[in-house]
């Protein structure tokens, strides 16, 4: 049965640069629907590290004042604009982080489009989204699970399979860092294609999750500061084929130590950065150690669709890992604090009524 269109939406806005204290909840008229837009009743959303950075005013890419935050969401289509061809009322959909990045390479103008930064995002009960920035929700996932795919999920997919001619393949060694959203997806995707995984983490409890997901070796980076050399040793001294570098300056030296000649380092974030930043490897090291360094920004809509099909076909292995602590929309500030604490495992999610 078609859902009725609400008159108003509850939404959060980023009203300053003081982190969670800058978040304000209000009730607003339901957004006007443009000809190429889709009105989505959001049922689930998830948090990403960038949401913390945006709320502090420290995001290095385009943002707009008072933006509705939220990089990831899933819900049901309530209505479509008159030029929309891809969706109809009742469809279950997931948002993509960049509605203009359909396929192919990133171009400078595309950096002006990011959900929850330069375009209103998903921390609200309903929103109007560009039809090109939505994909069908994979069958078999809850809305909250599906709401993890548009940022962390597709970034992990792109990291492992997006370098033309050099996808992660069966038998390869992958090194992942920590148990955040992107890294946990990487472990799951890698095991599904038959690769071998060495994962680092900070605690025995989190190590359990990684083992449950199939990681072949887990290294506690607090107990083993030279974990790069340890990872190399675990591959028989050869080194890992892929490193997915999410932590930045504090981990890059060890990531370089771990990699094999002609391996690939995918660089995408700096979740571990802080005042204690260590000495960073320089670009010459790609020559001295003969590896390829690839920076990425999210993934394309076509990659999201590929990932969705893979998840549907391997639901038990690829069901997104949602932290047991799921927050209500009204509890967004607590959710931001929980993500910032690093206590979570996998994705911190929001259930939207």
Ligand X SMILES: NC(=O)c1ccc[n+]([C@@H]2O[C@H](COP(=O)([O-])OP(=O)(O)OC[C@H]3O[C@@H](n4cnc5c(N)ncnc54)[C@H](OP(=O)(O)O)[C@@H]3O)[C@@H](O)[C@H]2O)c1
Interface residues with ligand X (CB under 6 A) are 48-50, 151-152, 155, 177-183, 200-202, 206, 221, 246-247, 250-251, 268-272, 296-298, 339, 342, 344
Residue closer to ligand X, measured from CB, 126 or 350: 350
Q: Between 140 and 338, whose beta carbon lies closer to ligand X? A: 338
Dihedral sign (CA 144, 179, 303, 332)? positive
The nearer residue to ligand X, 83 or 278, going by C-beta atoms, is 278
Min dist. Cβ of residue 73 to ligand X (A): 15
CB closer to ligand X, 39 vs 246? 246
Residues 6+ apart with CB under 8 A from 260: 173, 232, 235, 238, 239, 240, 241, 291
- φ and ψ at residue 340, rounded to 5 degrees: -65, -30
Q: How far is the CB of 208 from ligand X (least distance, A)?
A: 11
45, 123 in Cβ contact below 8 A? yes
Question: Which CB sits closer to ligand X, 84 or 264?
Answer: 264
Residue nearest to ligand X (CB): 180
Q: Can you tell me whether residue 175 is helix, strand or coil?
A: strand
Identity of the residue, 41 or 344, whose beta carbon is nearer to ligand X in the bound complex: 344
What is the number of H-type helices and E-type strands within the chain? 11, 15
Q: How far is the CB of 206 from ligand X (least distance, A)?
A: 4
Rounded to the nearest 10°, the torsion over CA 77, 80, 86, 89 is 40
Closer CB to ligand X, 8 or 277, in the complex: 277
Q: Which two tokens stand for residue 329?
A: 């929309």
Task: Compute the least distance from the CB of residue 210 to ligand X, in Å.
Answer: 8
Residue of 153, 194, 166 lying closest to 308 (CA atoms): 153
Min CB(115)–ligand X separation in Å: 12
Q: How far is residue 191's CA from residue 214's CA, in Å, rounded to a whole number?
A: 7
| Min separation Cβ 88 and ligand X, Å | 30
Q: How near is the Cβ of 193 to ligand X at its closest, in Å? A: 20
Q: How far is CA 90 from CA 42, 57, 250, 352, in A?
A: 12, 36, 46, 17
Q: 18, 58 in Cβ contact below 8 A?
A: no
| Residue 150: DSSP 8-state | I
């Amino acid at each position: 049965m078609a859902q009725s269109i609400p008159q108003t939406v509850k939404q959060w806005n980023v009203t300053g640069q003081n982190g969670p204290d800058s978040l304000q909840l209000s009730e607003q008229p339901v957004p006007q629907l443009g000809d190429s837009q889709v009105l989505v009743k959001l049922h689930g959303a998830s948090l990403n590290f960038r949401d913390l950075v945006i709320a502090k005013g420290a995001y290095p890419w385009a943002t707009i004042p008072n933006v509705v935050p939220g990089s990831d969401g899933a819900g049901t289509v309530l209505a479509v604009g008159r030029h929309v061809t891809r969706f109809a009322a009742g469809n279950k959909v997931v948002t993509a982080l960049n509605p203009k990045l359909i396929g192919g390479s990133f171009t400078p103008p595309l950096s002006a489009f990011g959900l929850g930064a330069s375009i209103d995002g998903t921390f609200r009960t309903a929103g109007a989204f560009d039809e090109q920035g939505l994909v069908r929700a994979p069958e078999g996932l809850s809305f909250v699970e599906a709401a993890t795919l548009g940022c962390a999920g597709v970034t992990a997919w792109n990291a492992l399979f997006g370098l033309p001619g050099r996808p992660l393949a069966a038998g390869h060694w992958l090194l992942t860092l920590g148990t955040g959203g992107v890294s946990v997806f990487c472990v799951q995707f890698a095991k599904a294609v038959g690769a071998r995984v060495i994962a680092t983490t900070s605690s025995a409890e989190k190590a359990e999750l990684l083992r449950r997901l199939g990681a072949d070796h887990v290294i506690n980076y607090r107990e083993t500061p030279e974990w790069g050399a340890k990872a190399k040793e675990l591959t028989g001294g050869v080194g890992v084929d892929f490193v997915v570098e999410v932590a930045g300056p504090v981990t890059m030296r060890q990531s370089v130590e771990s990699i094999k000649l002609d391996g690939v380092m995918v660089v995408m974030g700096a979740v571990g950065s802080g005042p204690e930043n260590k000495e960073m490897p320089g670009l010459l090291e790609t020559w001295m150690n003969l590896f390829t360094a690839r920076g990425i920004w999210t993934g394309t809509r076509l990659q999201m669709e590929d990932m969705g099909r893979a998840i549907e076909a391997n639901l038990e292995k690829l069901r997104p890992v949602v932290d047991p602590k799921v927050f209500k929309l009204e509890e967004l500030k607590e959710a931001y604090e929980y993500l910032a604490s690093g206590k979570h495992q996998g994705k911190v999610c929001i259930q939207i009524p």
